[in-house]
Amino acid sequence: MSDVAMPRLSDSMEEGTILKWLKSDGDEVSKGEELVEIETDKANMTYEADEAGTLEIVAQEGDTLPVGETICKLGEGGGGSSDDDEEDEEATEADEEEEAEDQGDDGAADEAADDEDEGEEDDEEEAEDEDSGDEPEEEAPSEEEEAPAEDEGERVKASPIARRIAEEKGVDLSTIEGSGPGGRIVKADLEDKQEEPEAPKKQRSADQGRGEIEEVELSRLQRTVARRMAESKATAPDFVMTLEVDMDEAVNLRQQLKAVAGDGVGGGGVPSFNDFVIKASALALKDFPRANGAYRDGQFELYSRVNVGVAVAGQDALVVPTVFDADKKSLGQIAEEARRVAERVREGKITPPELSAGTFTISNLGMYGIKRFVAVLNPPQAAILAVGELTPTPVVRDGEFAIRTVMELTLTCDHRILYGAEAAEFLGRIREYLQQPLRLVL
């Protein structure tokens, strides 16, 4: 039987939380079969078995373990051990319900040879077959003859898995009413018991008339976002600059693309204005390599690939999936990929590889009517771009007033790697690409 360790599912992952076992204790698992859902510092993802075998669950749902610690075991099963836990953890849940009739068959011969009582729960057949009678007063009764209580050495009738869960959770088995044969306590009884203490989170009333306080635990992803944002504000000497972009030409180009795509597409294949910004930023990053880099440990890291992260509102947290090699992809490819990863974030199906290796980040709140905001740096990246809404704005063109579609871009920079003049030129280059959008489709 081999140990399965908590896997490292992202570069920054230090520990993971077991969200849900997709197989039950004792199930036969094939190589490559989905085994468990794990919450990492970046996303929730499914882990597949590296080998085939019988599953023995070690870490329970909700447990948080460091990378490398055992979460389960996979073996050939059938073990021949006389220990209750080892025998029963290789049984399926269905077998557990029938333990009152057939538990202990595999280990009966060894137990009779040892001629000693280890307090194990033998079934009726084993109790009748054991004829040695050397120590009848210590002989374990059959399941149906077992009494609820005899003396201080008496054990409550419970399956080995139920005993293990009770020990881990600190549950007194004598307080549990078993639902198995003859009142035997099984795994399901402990699962029901585990749910009871979780119930109320509103535990105390606030002072000064604030009412009840509900204490909500942060998910691992939320804790990671909170930690990284605090580190960013505490360690990066940032500065901010804003400019306006005349988006009239981009609006006209998008209308032409929609006309070419046709009504049947439903707009799904037409690049959004955010896709325009991704492409424009990617091209500008090639022109200004330091903006596509990071400050780390007293030196600059300049990246050869342009991987643009796009901030997406996920399940109670901000998630930043990556559009890889955005400078080399067409506007249509960027639109398709950005929609796909954003949908995977909202469905909770995004994977760590899709969240990794970003070199620059874009955060867009324009769809919420926000004209301007300042985004927090996504460390260790050199800069992050905040995108506002497109707004009809009166402007002066050639000495005359005109109404133009204007969008504000706000760049937050790490002053350790990007200085004011270079950052201003970089942001201005993004504006050039957006105001001449045909350059984005060439």
**How far apart are alpha carbons 111 and 108 in whole angstroms?**
5
Residue 254 burial (CB < 10 Å; 0-12/13-18/19+)? buried
Residue 397 has pLDDT above 60, yes or no: yes
The pLDDT of residue 155 is 58
Average pLDDT, the chain: 78
Q: Is the pLDDT confidence value at 371 over 70?
A: yes
Catalytic residues: 415
CA distance to 268, 280, 357, per residue, from 429 (Å):
28, 8, 24
Q: In the structure, what pLDDT confidence band is assigned to residue 323 with cuts at 50, 70 and 90?
A: very high
- From CA 239, how far away is CA 415, in angstroms rounded? 7
- CA-to-CA dists, residue 261 to 102, 202, 264, 378, 399, angstroms: 67, 53, 8, 35, 38
- How far apart are the C-alpha atoms of 169 and 282, rounded to whole Å? 52
Query: What pLDDT does 83 receive?
Result: 43
Give 387 or 264, the one with higher predicted confidence.
Answer: 387
Q: With both helix axes pointing from N to C terminus, report the angle between 420-435 and 273-287 in degrees, rounded to the nearest 10.
A: 130
Sign, Cα dihedral of 90, 94, 96, 102: negative
CA 411, CA 361: separation in Å to the nearest integer? 10
Residues 205-236 have pLDDT tens digits of: 556 677 888 888 887 777 878 888 888 888 88
Q: Give the pLDDT score at 15.
A: 83
Q: Does the structural domain 221-441 have CATH classification 3.30.559.10?
A: yes
Task: State yes or no: pLDDT of 135 exceeds 90.
Answer: no
Cβ atoms of 386 and 410 closer than 8 Å: yes
Residue whose token pair is 């970003």: 358
Q: What's the pLDDT score for residue 50?
A: 87
* CATH code linked to domain 2-197: 2.40.50.100
Give the C-alpha separation, 49 to 239, whole Å: 47
Helix (H) or strand (E) holding 259: helix 248-261
Strands, E assignment, 207-277? 212-214, 238-246
Where do the CATH 2.40.50.100 domains begin and end in the chain?
2-197
Note the pLDDT of residue 95: 47
- Phi, psi (degrees; rounded to nearest 5) at 428: -65, -35
What is the pLDDT averaged over residues 159-184? 75
Residue 403's CB is within 10 A of a number of other CB atoms, namely 11
Q: List pLDDT tens digits, range 231-285.
A: 888 888 999 999 999 999 999 999 999 888 765 444 457 899 999 999 999 999 9
How far apart CA 365 and CA 198 sit, in angstroms, is 36
- pTM as predicted: 0.60
Residues of the chain within CATH 3.30.559.10 domain(s) are 221-441
**3-state class of 56 per DSSP?**
strand
Confidence grade of residue 191 (pLDDT, cut at 50, 70, 90): low
Report d(CA 363, CA 384) in Å as an integer.
Answer: 7
Output 62 or 387, whichever has higher pLDDT.
387
Tell which residue, 271, 376, 355, has the closest CA to residue 310. Answer: 355
pLDDT at 423 over 80: yes
